[in-house]
Amino acid sequence: MGDTDVTTDANAPWLIVGLGNPGPEYAMNRHNVGFMVADLLAERIGGKFKRAGKAQAQVIEGRIGPPGPANRRVILAKPMSYMNLSGGPVTALRDFYKVPTAHIVAVHDELDIDYGVLRLKLGGGDNGHNGLKSMTKAMGADYHRVRFGIGRPPGRMQVADFVLKDFGSAERKELDYFVDRAADAVECLVIEGLERAQGTYNS
């Protein structure tokens, strides 16, 4: 199963995984907010996603944080396997880059949190999220999560229909701000640790 020890070398790389579905038809879906955050982080690093060898994912390698001890080596990844099969590509990348499981960050949509609200945590259940379910099945639950609230479906709309719809026009007015804040939260988590990031970004 690889290295799942949560007491890890501070100098080990971090694997930041934006969860979503590949293809332009899914690009603005609520379920793809993890991809949106990964794309913004890629812009900040100044790289372009490329296919990752045998792993079914797109990746960028780079560094975040100020020069010195707080500077972190990171691998940004977008699994290209579809959401419910995310665990395979993530595990392959973890093993290839020798990333401790506790240095993996999954960025994903969360139904049980109001739109735009963030919650950061280490470990826990999948709350019915198929991407997390696949990751946990593949490598255990001891990875970080940056949970991006999308709220519950209105009326009697099915959850599957809701997450695979684009953000609404009112939501899109604030989407860039919320994605930017989520990217900030990821950087804070990697550079300063979970407790500091929770104190700053959990709302």
Q: How far is the C-alpha of 47 from the C-alpha of 62, rounded, in Å?
A: 8
In the chain, the N- to C-terminal Cα span, in Å, equals: 34
- Tell how strand 104-110 and strand 118-122 pair up: unpaired
Closest CA to 179 of 60, 64, 42: 42
Query: What per-residue string of b and e applies to 147-180 under the rule 16 or more CB within 10 Å gives b?
Result: bbbbbebeeeeeeeebbbeebeeeeeeebeebbe
Residue 147's DSSP bridge partners are 108, 119
Q: Does residue 129 carry a catalytic annotation? A: no
Find out whether 72 and 11 touch, Cβ atoms under 8 Å: no
Task: Report how many helices (DSSP H) and strands (DSSP E) the chain contains, helices first.
Answer: 6, 7
Question: Cβ neighbours of residue 160 under 8 Å, at least 6 residues apart?
Answer: none
Catalytic positions are 31
